[in-house]
Amino acid sequence: MLLGIGCQTTSMADRPLSAVVLAAGEGTRMRSARPKPLHRLCGRPMILHVLDALAELPVGKVVVVVGHRGEWVTKTLTDHAPPSLSIEFVEQPAQLGTGDALAVGLTALPDDAFDGEGDVVVLPGDAPLVRPPTLAALVRHHRASDAASTLLTARLEDAAGCDRVLRGRDGSVVAVVEDGELAEADDDVAEVATPIHCFRQGVLAPALRRLRPTGLSGEHSLNGIYAVLHDAGYRVESLALSDPMEAAGVNDRAQLAVAEAELRDRINERWMRRGVTMWDPERTYVDATVRLAPDVVLLPGVLLQGDTVVDRGAEIGPECQLVDTEVGEGATLSRCTAERAVVGAHARVGPYAVLGPGSVVGPSELVGPFSRMGADDERR
């Protein structure tokens, strides 16, 4: 029998919160030597978008489960993860499924805090579109309902190929079933399971030990835990997403492009609401790491990458690419490229100018058409 939840020694709001990020998969459909979680979206590895969302929650500890080329993932996160997060890495030696990956991740979480009555958010490293308010709502719903587990779900018009959520007569979640194993009576189920969960920590380890291999792969799927917990008499809850795109996973290059477009739309909308003008948002590309001041104007065909910073009132474009470049207040750049350059306030650059690494354009200076500046800061 599964371990009981026991008496609560603290309020639900005070229970410790941890997270486990599953990032051990090889990602063979990406057809790349790069680990799948490190493929970039808007200039940032997609697992960092996941950690950015977690950083908005009061998470005490984050465990990242690595596997394929784990040293690469570990170094990237060590160098670039949000500094507010306390991250520990554990390795899943063999790819035995998401249930096994979570069991490995649990070994890095203390099991004695509040008698194991903390909560654990579990999500994959390839779900970069999930928003912080959604994760916060999942935790709130989980705690308010005093559930042992809470699953984030979505309703799709076409649920083919997705794991489905099965409910009992009272509406509670009784199981999550793979599409290929659905009974004929359940073929019309439109509610699908996302890979984002919240669990009571004390029930996880014994429930995971009861998982059995499923499907042709024989892996231990984490979704099987819902039937285990339901059959053991635990309360199993769910929270429906209003925007299913938030839980979209990235398994191949086509899905990567879809996620990139969605994230770019969000970035552009956020900057426009902060006072940035974009003449044509569909042709404006701003990396997640770029910083823009109010009253910046971006014309069509602008690509801002890396640690580019643009000060108030500057006008960029049309057709400009800036990488790791600083642009001063009121400067104007037209049809030019710049990399690791500095453009002073009210300077004018272009059209058809190239600012190479180390270039410095002084305040109010003019860099005319077809000019080139290199590391020696001399025009040619």
Does residue 187 or residue 144 have the better pLDDT? Answer: 144
CA angle in degrees (0–180, nearest 5) for 42-31-76? 45
Task: Please say if the pLDDT value at position 167 is more than 50.
Answer: yes
- pLDDT tens for each residue of 126-161: 999 999 999 999 999 999 999 999 999 998 877 677
Residues 6+ apart with CB under 8 A from 4: none
Q: What is the pLDDT of residue 9?
A: 39
Cα Dmax for the chain = 78
Task: Reply yes or no on domain 274-373 having CATH 3.50.50.60.
Answer: no
Do 126 and 194 meet the contact criterion of CB atoms below 8 Å apart?
Answer: no
Task: Please say if the pLDDT value at position 220 is more than 50.
Answer: yes
> Could you tell me where in the chain the CATH 2.160.10.10 domains are found?
274-373
Of 6-10, 76-80, 264-268, the poorest mean pLDDT is in 6-10
Does residue 162 or residue 257 have the better pLDDT? Answer: 257
Work out the pLDDT band at 221, boundaries 50, 70, 90. Answer: confident
Task: Please say if the pLDDT value at position 43 is more than 80.
Answer: yes
Considering the domain 12-247, what is its CATH architecture? Alpha-Beta Complex (3.90)
3 state SS of 361: strand
> If we measure between CA atoms, which residue out of 273, 285, 282, 250 comes closest to residue 49?
250
Task: Please say if the pLDDT value at position 67 is more than 80.
Answer: yes
Work out the pLDDT band at 334, boundaries 50, 70, 90. Answer: very high
> Could you tell me where in the chain the CATH 3.90.550.10 domains are found?
12-247
Residues 6+ apart with CB under 8 A from 168: 174, 230
The C-alpha atoms of residue 50 and residue 81 are separated, in whole angstroms, by: 10
> If we measure between CA atoms, which residue out of 296, 351, 299 comes closest to residue 326?
296
Mean pLDDT of the chain: 89
Task: Please say if the pLDDT value at position 271 is more than 50.
Answer: yes
Q: What is the pLDDT of residue 285?
A: 97
How far is the CA of 59 from the CAs of 87, 122, 136, 213, in angstroms? 10, 12, 11, 31
Q: What is the pLDDT of residue 8?
A: 40
Work out the pLDDT band at 376, boundaries 50, 70, 90. Answer: low
